Structure 1
């Protein structure tokens, strides 16, 4: 696995952890308030976490999909980085 894909894999793992924290917070809020908005946020966290787990599976089992293209590897890393930044901000705001 190339350094680009190892970084993308690490970011996907961190994204799953951030999404788990958000799901716990939003799950508690949903049980307390029964708001459709918090249910939507909880669903968002679960779906995005599943997407990141699938990405991790592909990084480990099918790394050759990106093996020949440095551009594709850089794009995957850029997308995972942007997602990580967005989740850090969302987690910080939600945890307040």
Structure 2
């Protein structure tokens, strides 16, 4: 596997970890207040987790199909997602 795709998979795993933490936090909040907005946040977390799980699977199973020219852009997408999720996690815990 190409180094950039491996790095992309690692960043995706980090996204999954953050999304799991967000989901658990939102589930705890939902237990106390039953707000529909919190359900939306839980749904968002699950969908983003699925996106990252499918992406990691695709990177490992279909690596030869990705052109080398695409690797930096795919990595940038996941790094941007990681930055956004990190901010969301920080806001959630403050």
Same fold? TM cut 0.5: yes
Counterpart of 1:87 in structure 2 is 85
TM-score by length of 2: 0.96
**Corresponding pairs, count:** 94
Q: CA deviation at 1:39?
A: 0.4
Deviating runs (4+, > 4 A) in structure 1? none
Which sections of structure 1, spanning at least 5 residues, go unmatched? none
Aligned residue in 1 for 2:72: 74
What CA RMSD, in Å, does the superposition of the two structures yield over aligned residues?
Answer: 0.8
Unaligned runs of 5+ in 2: none
* TM-score of the aligned structures, taking structure 1 as reference length: 0.94
Match of 1:34 in 2: 34
